[in-house]
Amino acid sequence: MESKTLPSSAAEHAELPVYNKLHASTLAIHGGHQANEHGALVTPLHQSATFAFDNAEQGGARFAGDQPGYIYTRLGNPTTAELERKMALLEGAEDAAATASGMAAVSSALLTHLQAGDHIVASNAIYGCSFALITTQLNRLGIRSTLVDFNNMPAVTAAIEPTTKVIFCETPVNPHLDVFDIRAIVAIAKQYDLVSIVDNTFMTPLLQQPLALGVDMVIHSATKYLNGHGDVIAGIVCGNREHMTRLKYEILKDFGGVISPHDAWLILRGMKTLDVRLQRHCDNAEQLAQYLQANQAIAKVFYPALSSHQGHRFIGRQMKRAGGVLAFELIGDLQHAIDFVNRLTLLTIAVSLGDAETLIQHPASMTHSPYTPQARAEAGISDNLLRISVGLEDINDIIADIEQALV
Ligand SMILES: *Cc1c(COP(=O)(O)O)cnc(C)c1O
């Protein structure tokens, strides 16, 4: 599936009729691909910092924006552009921007809309570095924040101030996989004229499309499922043409958090299998959740596909499936949880998620160790809580490893 024309932007590309009838799993493979000089099946890697002009007039015309074409990779790169077109198509966005990390995506998106004197309302359950960015770094720049429980919509509304510009959350979110009501958040954003931003990392556009529900901007850590192979740190932002033009040609241009073309190329490779990988991640996680729920050594399992979970009612109406991350509480104390983790032989002790390998981490001693014990208790992070990113291995091997470690 190749477009023979060369549209200059993801927006024009998304309008190509060739994409109208394709399903998301097909778009993840073919979306955004352009014909290239030699007919290479795989997108060429343009590992070049700069691009030569035919003559001075052409260089001048590119700088003036009078002529399409590349100038310098911080301003755009053909390999990166293919990833951006693919992601824009999948999220149903007018445009997308690839960034150096998920945090570069979060910070670029927020800085596109916020300046000194502004205020942001965000979920109090949020990725740890997004929490630090909002409460420490943005605060240092004169941008204030209020963090509230997004399960409680009246509290979200009550947190809005006259200077509030942005409402931000991720769903589902660590550590309990809570799911927030995107439609309700969009309704509040529209009522108070706020820009709504959702971190869609845990779902990918194949399981959840926040823009279709009215969200203004979507963020991803492409480090996770989009790349899927644990060898890249990168991010993506998707949104409308006006927002993305500011993000790309002001924020990313001047703050500089652009992706390496090589990393974009690896993500393009990873995304060809995104749909099949996600199906396996979800199948494995569903089976593991059921096994854990039935096990006498487990106190509680947190996974939105379980009917007992807070997020269950959103499956099918906001998110297609529950994804590949789950958490559970062992019966026992902190040392018991640590001993269990140390007995595992197949599961890898590591943070991150969305890789082929099943990864397990212990929030109390790892991701949430900077919290005081009291703050951890308030956030519901018990000493025996464990988080698993369920990988692509045979589910019987994953369960067997957990079973032998539970004794
Ligand atoms: C990992 C992650 C991030 C940060 O992404 P990096 O690629 O590590 O910078 C942001 N949000 C969520 C939900 C994440 O899981």
90 lies in the same domain as 228: yes
Q: Among the listed ranges 147-156, 277-286, 378-387, which one has the minimum average pLDDT value?
A: 378-387
Ligand 1 contact via 228 beta carbon (within 6 Å): no
User: Who wins on pLDDT, 311 or 174?
Assistant: 311
Give pLDDT tens digits for 48-80. Answer: 999 999 999 999 999 999 999 999 999 999 999
Q: What is the pLDDT of residues 169-215, one digit of tens each?
A: 999 998 899 999 999 999 999 999 999 999 999 999 999 999 999 99
Give pTM, 2 decimals. Answer: 0.95
| Residue ranges making up the domain that contains 398 | 274-405
Residues 175 and 29 in one domain: yes
How far apart (Å, rounded) are the C-alpha atoms in residues 393 and 56? 55
Which of 219-223, 286-290, 362-366 bottoms out in mean pLDDT, i.e. has the lowest? 362-366
Q: What is the pLDDT of residue 21?
A: 81
Helices (H), 33-181: 56-64, 78-91, 102-113, 128-132, 138-140, 153-158
Q: Are residues 150 and 136 in the same domain?
A: yes
Distance from Cα 299 to the centre of ligand 1, integer Å: 28
Q: Are residues 262 and 337 in the same domain?
A: no
Long-range contacts of 65-72 (CB under 8 A, 24+ apart): 68/6, 68/8
Place of tokens 């343009």: 46
pLDDT digits (tens, 9 = 90+) for 321-355: 999 999 999 999 999 999 999 999 999 999 999 99
Query: What is the Å distance from ligand 1's center to 127 Cα?
Result: 7
Residue 314 beta carbon below 6 angstroms from any ligand 1 atom: no
Q: Which residue, chain included where needed, has tokens 């000493």?
A: 383
| 6 — pLDDT class (breaks 50, 70, 90) | very low
Instruction: List residues bridging with 258 in a β-sheet.
Output: 99
The answer, yes or no, to whether residue 92 has pLDDT greater than 80, is yes
pLDDT at 32 over 50: yes
Q: Are residues 317 and 206 in the same domain?
A: no
Q: Are residues 252 and 338 in the same domain?
A: no
Number of independent structural domains in the chain: 2
Tell how far the Cα of 255 is from the centroid of ligand 1, in angstroms: 19
Closest CA to ligand 1's atom 1: 221
Position 9 confidence tier, pLDDT thresholds 50, 70, 90: low
- Is residue 102 lining ligand 1, measured as CB closer than 6 Å? yes
pLDDT at 291 over 80: yes
pLDDT tens-digit profile of 301-310?
Answer: 999 999 999 9
Euclidean distance between CA atoms 355 and 96, whole angstroms: 23
Say whether 234 sits in a helix, a strand or coil.
coil
* Domain co-membership, 316 together with 300: yes
Q: Which atom of ligand 1 is nearest to the CA of 104?
A: 9
Q: Which atom of ligand 1 is nearest to the CA of 223?
A: 7
* Same-domain status, 27 and 163: yes
Q: Residue 285 Cα, ligand 1 centroid: separation in angstroms? A: 20
Q: Per residue in 371-380, pLDDT tens?
A: 788 888 888 8
Residues 210 and 322 in one domain: no
CB of residue 355 inside a 6 A radius of ligand 1 = no
Q: How far is the CA of 389 from the centre of ligand 1 (A)?
A: 14
Identify the helix (H) or strand (E) that includes residue 236.
Answer: strand 235-239
State whether the beta carbon of 199 lies less than 6 angstroms from ligand 1.
yes
Token pair for 115: 């300046």
- Is residue 389 pLDDT above 80, yes or no? yes
Does residue 235 have its Cβ closer than 6 Å to ligand 1?
Answer: yes
Question: Which residue's CA is the nearest one to ligand 1's atom 4?
Answer: 102
CB 198 within 8 A of CB 210: yes
Residue with tokens 């951890």: 376
Choosing from 236, 271, 306, the residue where a domain stops is 271
Q: Using 50, 70 and 90 to split pLDDT, how confident is the model at 11?
A: low
Q: Could you tell me if 191 and 296 lie in one domain?
A: no
Which of 385, 393, 391 shows the shortest CA–CA distance to 369? Answer: 385
Strand order in the sheet with 144-148: 95-99, 235-239, 217-221, 195-199, 164-170, 119-123, 144-148
Could you give the CA distance from residue 264 to residue 16 in angstroms, rounded to a whole number?
Answer: 23
Kindly report the average pLDDT of the chain as a whole number: 94
Tell me the three state secondary structure of residue 125.
coil
Residue 263 Cβ inside 6 Å of ligand 1? The answer reads: no
- Percent of the chain at pLDDT above 90? 89
What's the pLDDT at 14?
65
Rounded distance, CA 309 to CA 211, Å?
Answer: 25
Contacts with 303 (C-beta within 8 Å, 6 or more apart), sequence order: 177, 285, 286, 289, 309, 322, 326, 327
Which atom of ligand 1 is found nearest the CA of 201? 13
Q: Residue 336: what pLDDT?
A: 94
Q: Which of 108, 127, 225, 236 maximizes ligand 1 atoms within 8 Å of its Cβ, making it the mutation to test the pocket?
A: 127
Ligand 1 centroid–CA 388 distance in Å is 16
Q: How confident is the model at residue 31 (pLDDT cuts 50, 70, 90)?
A: very high
Contact between residue 197 and residue 110 where contact means Cβ atoms under 8 Å apart? yes
* Distance, CA of 360 to CA of 115 (rounded, Å): 38
Domain finish residue from 256, 271, 286: 271
Q: Which residue has the CA at smallest separation from atom 7 of ligand 1? A: 102
Distances in whole angstroms, Cα of residue 315 to Cα of each of 181, 248, 320:
11, 34, 6
| 13: confidence class by pLDDT, cuts 50, 70, 90 | low
| Closest by Cα among 150, 238, 250, 241 to 199 | 238
Write the CATH number for 357: 3.90.1150.10
User: Quick one: DSSP state of residue 137?
Assistant: I
Q: Which of 156, 83, 143, 80 is nearest to 110 (CA)?
A: 143
- List residues with catalytic annotation: 74, 127, 199, 224
Q: Check pLDDT > 80 for residue 15.
A: no
- The CA R_g of the chain, rounded to the nearest whole Å, is 22
Cα 221 to averaged position of ligand 1 atoms, centre (Å): 5
β-bridge mates for residue 360, sequence order: 349, 388
The residue among 238, 256, 271 that closes a domain is 271
Structure tokens at 63: 């700088």
- 């399409």: which residue's tokens? 68
Q: What is the CATH number for 117?
A: 3.40.640.10
Answer yes or no: do 324 and 234 share one domain. no
Same domain for 121 and 7: yes
Ligand 1, atom 9, lies closest to the CA of 102
Q: Cβ(304) to ligand 1 under 6 A?
A: no
Residue 7 has pLDDT above 50, yes or no: no
pLDDT of 104-128, one tens digit each? Answer: 999 999 999 999 999 999 999 999 9
Residue nearest to atom 2 of ligand 1 (CA): 221
